[in-house]
Amino acid sequence: MNAHRVVQVIGQDGKLLLQDLPFEEGDTVEVIILEVATKSRRKEVASPYHSSNQKPSMQDLYPLRGKPIEYTHPTQPVAQDEWSVLE
């Protein structure tokens, strides 16, 4: 697969013009359009973790980190009755 990246600004009419692409006439291509986050756009997007645009804390990203882990019967077989080989 040959990938080529072009950054363009969409016009007021919602059209996008791609020129001088490095492909042959008749080649089949797939076009995927991704929005590029600019500095002004990043300010508009609110953080999912805080009401302000603060960097999320480690506790927000990993809420179970540091919590106790309890193993109930850790050495007993799991779902032993569900194995047809044992019958």
User: Exposed, middle or buried: residue 80 (CB in 10 Å: 0-12, 13-18, 19+)?
Assistant: exposed
Above 80 in pLDDT, residue 45? Answer: no
Above 70 in pLDDT, residue 42? Answer: no
Above 90 in pLDDT, residue 26? Answer: yes
61: helix, coil or strand? helix
Instruction: Record the pTM.
Output: 0.38
For residue 28, name the pLDDT band (cuts at 50, 70, 90): very high
